Structure 1
Amino acid sequence: MMTRFSIALLLALAPMPAVANSCPSQMAQIDAALQTASLSEADMNKVKELRKRGEELHDAGDHAGSEAALGEAKQLLGI
Structure 2
Amino acid sequence: MKHLTLAAAFALLAAPALANQCPADMAAIDAALAAGTDLTEEQATQVQALRDEGAQQHEAGDHAASMATLAEAKGMLGLE
Tell me the TM-score normalised to structure 1 length. Answer: 0.87
Displaced runs of 4 or more, over 4 A: 4-7
Q: Which structure has the larger Rg?
A: 1
Write out aligned runs for 1:33-52 (5 A): 33-35=32-34, 36-52=36-52
Structure 2 equivalent of residue 70 of structure 1: 70
Aligned residue-pair number: 77
Tell me the TM-score normalised to structure 2 length. Answer: 0.86
Which has the larger displacement, 10-19 or 40-49?
10-19
% identity of equivalent residues: 47
CA offset at residue 6 of structure 1? 8.7
Unmatched 5+ stretches in structure 1: none
